[in-house]
Amino acid sequence: MSLFSLVMLTLSAIIGSGWLFGAGMAAQIAGPAAILSWILGAVVIGLIALNYIELGTMFPTSGGMSQYAAFSHGPLLGFVAGWSNWLSLLTIIPIEAVAAVQYMSSWPWAWANWTRGFLKNGNITNQGLMVVFLFILAFTLLNFWSVKLLTRFTSFISIFKLGIPTLTIIVLLATGFEPGNFAHTAGFMPSGSAAIFSATTAAGIIFSYNAFQTTINMGNEIDHPERNILWGIVIAFGISTVIYTMLQVAFIGAVPEANLAHGWQGVNFQSPFADIAILLNLGWLSTLLYLDAFVSPFGTGVSFVATTSRALAAMTGTKHVPTRLGEINRKYQTPRRAMVVDMLLGVLLVAGFRNWSALSNVISTSTLIAYLTGPVTVTALRHQGRDFIRPFRLHGIHLWAPLAYVLASLAIYWAKWPTTVEVFGVIAMGLLCYVYYEIRQPAGWHALRASLKGSRWLLAEMIWLTVMSYAGSHEFGGVGQIAYPLDFLVVALGSLACYYLGVHDAYRSESFDIARELNQRVTEAD
């Protein structure tokens, strides 16, 4: 896969349903200050991505995000990180299908009245579920035969996906932009500064940026991974940050004054940008937006079938999930069994969670839990694998790694109680699967006890965040025992202690030998 194809694949994953709904939801939560939420989200995920760029270039392997933690802290931590990451990726497939169907339900044309029954009270109906299932099937089939077919499809669709958001920004800025909206009623920050932080998860901002890992998980399918992993992420992430931020600016300025009668919290569009285009008498733009509501989620859904199947396949390496899921089709070089399992589980997920906002909040939280392991792992490997080849070396890692870790911890806290404890519970369920397979292996309980030490810091982190989420400020769903913004400082200090415990608890397991073998295949970047 060339650098161009890689950038197009990553952009196709990042510019998905987030741009169709994120700006509207963020404005409803934070008002004009939602612009800062997109910048904050980019900083949080960007810093995390820097840690994973070093790991990705050191260990170019498919589904790498599910393996790195095991290299430094043993199989249990690797499994928890892989499980959390896989759950978040798995949910993206149905959420993109839900996004497309939600836009379909608001088609304004008379011939499309049959789509109105797809959505009721903000939730996908049983009729809409059938269309969602067809989308998921199409996402899977486009990945089923070959990576070459996938890259050709996504390279084409990404150009379209970039064009429509860019055109939307230009048209709204030129025709319907009202600068007075940025100071309307309560001003730039009508809901206070806390809303800026909560919007990063509640409005799907973290979810929207999450797709940078598409590049990491393609691993050894990338030409010159020692160089192209870095530039693939930097280019795609930079472009998407500019697009998302400018879309928020355009949305804030384009909302008609009449719709602000009850403040920003009263702005509740079912299909945000398309609805605004109709209100501004831009029928041609609304038609393009309804078309892109097919294309953007479709491109992201297709990309994440590839990413999610490789993440599941990678988890089979430690033999804590059925190993047959990791088999690669010899002819097409795709993990077909993993794709089919992901498809079926995606269908079950969308049957249980029938709206975009609920799914995006869960995805953001579970993703961030997986991301906590990145800064700890990259720092630990600086000590364990001093001789490893590092085509990209993050300078100032002793500053950037703990900062990325603390920001990820805070972003989990911003998801609000009880979302935090609910996601922690789902992740804990994965441990039952791990223990079942672990005690059946020859080393059994001895290996389990050894790997527990390498994972205790993450357990401590989740307990700490659960306590803080409950006891924290009212602004983030807590009972108010610690007021805002003092709660940020307390969360950060406790999380920083867990970070240093994690770096200290790294140990050499059999997974470290796998890391060394992978690293020996790497060549230094030019």
The predicted structure's pLDDT at residue 220: 62
Helices 3-14, 283-315: crossing angle, 10 deg rounding: 110
For the chain, the distance separating the N- and C-terminal CA atoms, rounded to the nearest angstrom, is 18
How far apart, in whole angstroms, are the C-alpha atoms of residue 187 and residue 182?
7
Q: Rg of the chain's alpha carbons, rounded to an integer?
A: 22
Residues sharing a CB contact under 8 Å with residue 307, sequence separation 6 or more, in sequence order: 13, 89, 213, 214, 217, 218
Q: Which residues of the chain have pLDDT under 50?
A: 525-526
Residues sharing a CB contact under 8 Å with residue 331, sequence separation 6 or more, in sequence order: none
The predicted structure's pLDDT at residue 331: 63
pTM of the model: 0.84
CA distances for 204 relative to 12, 21, 58, 126, 408, angstroms: 17, 8, 30, 24, 15
The predicted structure's pLDDT at residue 526: 44
Domain range 3-523, its CATH number among 1.10.540.10, 1.20.1740.10, 3.40.640.10, 2.60.120.260: 1.20.1740.10
How far apart, in whole angstroms, are the C-alpha atoms of residue 241 and residue 247?
10
Q: What is the largest CA-CA distance in the chain?
A: 69
The predicted structure's pLDDT at residue 158: 66
The predicted structure's pLDDT at residue 444: 64
How far apart, in whole angstroms, are the C-alpha atoms of residue 286 and residue 273?
8
pLDDT tens by residue, 219-232: 666 777 667 778 88
